[in-house]
Structure 1
Amino acid sequence: MEDACREFGHLPAVLTGDSPPLSFTQLAQLCRYVDETLAGWNIPAPSAVAVLLPQSPQNALLCLALMRRYQCIPLNPVATNPELEQQLDPLRPTLIITDTILRAKLDKSSLLSAIPHALLEARAGPSGSFHLLPPTPAFRSPPVSTVLRVDTALVLHTSGSTGRAKAVALSHTMLLSAIRRTVMSLRLSDKDCALNLLPLFHIGGLMDVLLAPLSVGGSVVLSSHTERLAVRKLLATSPVTWLQGVPTMLLEYSRTDAPDTLTPFRKLRFVRSVSAPLLPAQLAQLRRGFGVPIVEIYGMTETCGLICSNPVEEGTQVPASVGTPVATAVRIADTLGKPLPTGTRGEVLIRGEHVFAGYLGGESTTQQDGVFIDGWFRSGDQGYVDDAGRLFLTGRIKELINRGGEKFSPLEVEIPLQTIASVSDAACFALPHPSLGEEPALAVVAEKPVDTELIHQVLGEQLAAYKIPRHIFQVDSLPKNASGKVQRHRLREQFIPTVRSTSPTNQLGPLGEQLRPLWQQSLGVTLSNADIDANFFDLGGDSLKAATLMATLSDMLGVAIPPALLFDNPTLVALEQALLTALPDDSLACHPALSADFPQTMLRELSGYLAGWQGKRQGSQSLLVGVNTRGSQPPVFWGCQSYEEFSGFCAQFSSDQPIYGFRSLFRVNNKDTRSNRALARYYCDEVQQLQACGPYVLGGFCEGACFAFYIAEALRERGEEVCLLMAVERFIAEPYDGRLCYVFSEHSSHSPFRRFDQPQTLWPTLYSGEVSCYRRKWKHRSFMASPCVESLGEILRAEIAAARRGLPSANGLPLTDSTLPEYPPESARQADIQATLPATLSPGQSVCLQVAVANRSDQCWLPGHRSGLRLYARWRRQGSGRVRDWKAGVAELTHPISPGSDAIIAMTVTAPTRIGRWYLELDVACEGLIFFAESGSTLCQLPCLVVYGGRHFSPQLRPPATATQEH
Structure 2
Amino acid sequence: MKLSTASPPEGTVRDWLNARADAGGTAITLPETGQELSWAELRATAAETAADLTSQGIEKGESIAVVHPNGLQGVKALYAALYGGFRVTMINLAAGPDAIGYALDHSGARVAFVHKAQIEMFNAARPERMSLYAPTGGSAALHDLRANDDALLMYTSGTTGRPKGVVHTHSSLLAGGWTVSKAHHLTPDDRAFGVLPFYHINGLCVSVMGSLVSGGSLAMVSRFSASQFWDQAEKGGITWFSVVPTIISHLLHGEADPSDALKSRLRFGRSASSALAVETQNAFQKRFGISIVETMGLTETAAQCLSNPLDPAQQKIGSPGYGIGNDGRIADEKGQLCAVGEEGEIQIRGPNVMKEYLKNPEATRETFIGDWLRTGDLGRIDADGFIFVTGRLKELIIKGGENIAPREIDEALYEHGDVVEAAAFARPNPEYGERVEAAVRLSEGSSATADDLLALCIARVGKFKAPDHVHLMDELPKGPSGKIQRLYLNELLYGKG
Aligning the two structures, in what range does the TM-score lie when normalised by the shorter sequence? 0.7 to 0.9
- On the 8 A contact 1:372/1:378 being kept in 2, the answer is yes
1:396 aligns with 2:396: no
- Structure-1 separation of matches of 2:429 and 2:352: 38
Alignment partner, residue 473 of structure 2: 499
Aligned to 2:89: 73
Measure the CA separation in 2 of the matches of 1:49 and 1:538.
46
Deviations 1:145-181 (A, max 9, x none): 9xxx981011111115665311011001112322322
- Aligned partner of 1:674 in structure 2 is none
**What is the correspondence of 1:386-535 to structure 2 with a 5 Å cutoff?**
386-399=382-395, 442=427, 495=470, 497-501=471-475
Equivalent residues, number: 416
The structural deviation recorded for 1:304 is: 1.6
Matched, 1:194 2:188: no
| 1:227 equivalenced with 2:201 (yes/no) | no
Deviation at 1:289, TM superposition (A): 3.6
Farther-moved stretch of structure 1 (268-277 vs 280-289):
280-289
Q: Which residue of 2 aligns with 1:118?
A: 133
Distance 2:371 2:258 in 1: 52
Higher mean Cα deviation, 268-277 or 151-160? 151-160
Rounded to whole Å, the distance in 2 between the matches of 1:197 and 1:161 is 28
CA distance, structure 1, for counterparts of residue 191 and residue 76 of structure 2? 16
Question: Deviation of residue 19 (structure 1)?
Answer: 2.8
Structure 1's 294 and 85: CA in aligned 2 closer, same or farther, altered over 3 A? same
Partner of 2:451: none
- 1:38 paired with 2:38, answer no
Equivalent position of 1:98 in the other structure? 114
CA contact (8 A) 1:53 1:99 kept: yes
Q: Which residue in the other structure is 1:22 paired with?
A: 37
Q: What amino acid is aligned across from residue 353 of structure 1 in structure 2?
A: P
TM-score (norm. length: structure 1): 0.39
Higher relative contact order (CA 8 A, sep 6+): 2
State yes or no: 1:241 paired with 2:255.
Answer: no
Q: Deviations over 1:166-203 (max 9, x none)?
A: 10110011123223222111100011110011112122
Partner of 2:320: 322
The within-5 A match list for 1:746-765 is: none
Distance 1:272 1:162, change over 3 A: farther
1:48 to 40, 57, 63: 63
Q: Residue 52 of structure 1: CA displacement?
A: 1.0
- Residue 6 of structure 1: how far off its partner (Å): 4.2
Cα deviation 1:605-639 (Å, max 9, x = unaligned): xxxxxxxxxxxxxxxxxxxxxxxxxxxxxxxxxxx
Mapping of residues 340-419 of structure 1, within 5 Å: 340-367=338-365, 370-399=366-395
Amino acid of the structure 2 residue aligned with 1:83: A
Q: Indicate if the aligned counterparts of 1:8 and 1:217 stay in contact, CA closer than 8 A.
A: no
8 A Cα contact 2:192 2:238, kept in partner: yes
The amino acid of 1:223's aligned partner reads V
Q: What does residue 57 of structure 1 align with?
A: 72
Aligned-partner residue type, residue 67 of structure 2: L
Q: Deviations over 1:224-263 (max 9, x none)?
A: 1421233221112221010001111122234463376666
Structure-2 change in CA distance of 1:246 and 1:43 (3 Å): same
**Cα gap change, 1:313 to 1:89, in 2 (>3 Å):** same
- Secondary structure (helix, strand or coil) at the match of 1:324 reads coil
CA contact (8 A) 1:294 1:317 kept: no
Alpha-carbon offset, residue 539 of structure 1: 12
* Percent of aligned positions that are identical: 26
Provide, for residues 482-536 of structure 1, a one-character-per-residue CA deviation record: whole Å limited to 9, x for no partner.
xxxx97xx659x54x423359xxxxxxxxxxxxxxxxxxxxxx99xxxxxxxxxx
Tell me, in whole angstroms, the C-alpha distance in 1 between the residues paired with 2:52 and 2:34. 24
Q: CA separation in 1, counterparts of 2:428 and 2:183?
A: 36
Q: Which amino acid counterpart does residue 310 of structure 2 have in structure 1? A: V
Give the 3-state SS of the residue equivalent to 1:90 in structure 2.
helix
CA distance in 2 between partners of 1:53 and 1:176 (Å): 21
- Counterpart AA for 1:28: R
Q: 8 Å contact 1:81–1:106 — kept in the other structure?
A: no
Q: CA deviation at 1:358?
A: 2.8
Contact kept, 8 Å, 1:4 with 1:217, in 2: the verdict is: no
Structure 1 counterpart of 2:437? none
By how many angstroms is 1:272 displaced?
0.5
- What is the alpha-carbon distance in structure 2 between the residues aligned to residue 86 and residue 60 of structure 1? 23
Q: Taking structure 2 as the reference length, what is the TM-score of the superposition?
A: 0.73
User: 2-side partners of 1:364 and 1:388: how far apart?
Assistant: 36
Query: In 1, Cα distance between the equivalents of 2:307 and 2:337?
Result: 21
Q: Give 3-state SS (helix, strand or coil) of 2:345's partner.
A: strand
**Change in 2 beyond 3 A, CA 1:162/1:293:** farther
- Secondary structure of 1:350's counterpart equals strand
The one-letter amino acid of 1:380's match is: G
Alignment of 1:193-342 (within 5 A): 193-255=191-253, 257-258=255-256, 264-342=262-340
Q: Residues 82-97 of structure 1 correspond to what in structure 2 (within 5 A)?
A: 82-97=98-113
Higher gyration radius (CA)? 1
Query: Which amino acid letter does the alignment assign opposite residue 12 of structure 1?
Result: T
State the 1:541 CA deviation. 12
Which secondary structure does the structure 1 equivalent of 2:384 belong to? coil
Deviation at 1:374, TM superposition (A): 3.9
Gap change, CA 1:2 and 1:235, over 3 Å in 2: closer
- Describe the SS at the equivalent of 2:224: coil
Note the C-alpha offset of 1:114: 2.9
Secondary structure in 2 aligned to 1:89? helix
Deviation at 1:443, TM superposition (A): 6.0
* Counterpart amino acid of residue 394 in structure 2: K
The 3-state SS of whatever aligns with 1:296 is strand
Quickly say closer, same or farther: Cα 1:316–1:160, change in 2 above 3 A.
Answer: farther
Contact persistence 2:194–2:207 (CA under 8 A): yes
How far does residue 80 in structure 1 lie from its aligned partner after superposition? 4.1
Equivalent position SS for 1:107: helix
Q: CA–CA distance in 1 between the matches of 2:76 and 2:364?
A: 32
Per the alignment, residue 438 of structure 2 pairs with none
Alignment of 1:920-939 (within 5 A): none
Query: CA separation in 1, counterparts of 2:270 and 2:320?
Result: 11
After superposition, where does 1:153-168 map in structure 2 within 5 Å?
153-159=151-157, 163-168=161-166
Contact 2:93 2:100 in 1 (8 A): no
Q: Deviations over 1:897-925 (max 9, x none)?
A: xxxxxxxxxxxxxxxxxxxxxxxxxxxxx
Aligned equivalent of 1:565: none
Correspondence list, 1:437-836, <5 A: 442=427, 495=470, 497-501=471-475
Amino acid at match of 2:197: P
